[in-house]
A and B are shown apart, each in its own frame.
Chain A
Amino acid sequence: MRAFKQTFWLTLIKLGIFITILSLCLFLFLIFTKGGKVISLSFLFEPPKEGMTKGGIFPALIGTLYLTLGSILFALPIGILAAIYLSEYAKPSVFVSAIRIAIKTLAGVPSIVFGLFGLALFVNFFGFGVSILSGALTLGILILPTIINASEEAIKTVPQDFREAAYALGATKRQTIMKIVLPTALPSVLTGAIISVGRAAGETAPILFTAATFYTRRLPKSILDEIMALPYHIYALMTEGTAPKFQVPIAYGTALVLLLLVLTINLVAIIMRYRIRRKKKW
């Protein structure tokens, strides 16, 4: 009986691993075979043509780059400042607990809700319209909790020894943070930030009402222009297309490009993390 239980248990574990690997392989196989056919240099660098039945995805690619870059420019400084407050200044209190709960809650909010929030606040209230700015700000708020958490963790791993050494030399708290703590934590902070960039690049819902447009041939001239983006382009091709026979393959091609983009971003983060660990001697 015992032996049977043991075998049963092991089989169950192996099955779990098998299903995981199988679905990942199937997923990659499907995206690569279906998307691989349409991918070419001109697919990457040409705008869509003839009602999006031909041509490439260049404006969407550029749009996604702008949106993610904008979101990180907005979220990184704010996230780092918040993390400094939480890890270096905040003393346990009801107020600080409330902030922490708020950050956790923010991290759990469905992304479509962020989309509606961005529409109400940035598009309408601030009057930025449907634009790169509105979309980047909405995405920025979406990734803010991740950046705060990653930064706080990174700041916490800076050894107390370094802070003591700085104080003992006559440094103020601000100098200690700016010149010792933050530079030491920065590589890990950036690793966390890069991972959230990957997240921002793939999100559709937050930009649905705030930044994305169905179709444009021209590239944006200012941050108040609306823009195409890879995830939304897929959505548009699959739901609003008039010629699915031509448009579905393009959607898969776009999906593959998006997938490769996110994988590359994550790979950069992994390599950075590896190098930090190897270099770290304290």
Chain B
Amino acid sequence: MVESEILIKELNLWFGNNHILRNITMPINKNKLTAIIGPSGCGKSTLLRCFNRMNDLIEGVKITGSIFIDGKDIYSEKTDVYALRMKVGMVFQKPNPFPKSIFENVSFSLQIKGKLNKQAISQRVEKSLRDAWLWDEVKDRLHTQAFELSGGQQQRLCIARALANDPEILLLDEPTSALDPQSTIKIEELLIELKKTVTIIQVTHNIAQAARISDYTGFIYLGELIEFGPTEKIFTTPKDKRTEEYLTGKFG
């Protein structure tokens, strides 16, 4: 078995009295792309937001269990949530650049850290934009508004913005669901390239996408992890009847 960088252990999550995630245990492998699939409302996005503790922001949330990253439980009291979120980047469903320039978007996380000088920031911005395959399209207009970009470019800008923190893990919440097919293909290819250096966890509604680009797949249904394993195995010989029914389109 490949070395696992992240381990979810007996994770439970409630919003008020709603038990959203039920006793999830699942490994995530380093430098692989793990897809989390399942019908809408099953809790897959909520699970994704556990990795960078974004659920902490929601009133009335209760979480038990652990997520270990590099051997440390991120739900222990000692965890610095802000440092965690720099290490674990996130890209959202709808491209959400700040209403600022392209440059300011990518440099935001560097500015708030406040440790780098101007030149170092420029270098990091360029590297992040290159890594997100956006540099050639924007290098002549770094100071124009991010909203001038197309949807697909905006999403790659959001990826560049997350990469500027030099994260170990990148979380993507249905990153292509608001995009056209061409932009989608470009982002899929980008993710395959990125996983060489970053561990990627992606939530997707799009079963075909999970089959195309992921190495491992976890199927979540009604808050439970029904099945987890190498994508090939899950898609060809699912063990659980529910996984098979979901993948063949019987529900979802």
Contacts and interface: CB of A to CB of B under 8 A. Distances in A.
B111 interface: yes
B85 A161 contact: no
Interface residues of B, number: 28
Interface in B87-109: 89-90, 92, 94, 96-100, 108-109
B165 interface: yes
A179 interface: yes
A159 B95 CA distance: 12
A165 B85 contact: no
Interface in B122-172: 145, 147, 158, 161-162, 165
Contact of B96 (A164, A171, A175, A184): A164
Given A168-B52, A168-B89, A170-B86, A179 B96 contact: no
B208 interface: no
A170 B92 contact: no
A7 interface: no
Contacts, number: 66
Interface string A160-172: 0110111111111
Nearest to B148: A281
Interface in B237-252: none
29 contacts: A159-B96, A162-B96, A164-B57, A164-B92, A164-B96, A165-B96, A165-B98, A165-B161, A166-B108, A167-B57, A168-B54, A168-B92, A169-B85, A169-B89, A170-B83, A170-B113, A170-B165, A171-B82, A172-B82, A172-B112, A175-B112, A179-B111, A183-B100, A184-B98, A281-B99, A281-B145, A281-B147, A282-B99, A282-B147
Interface of A: 159, 161-162, 164-172, 175, 179-180, 183-184, 281-282
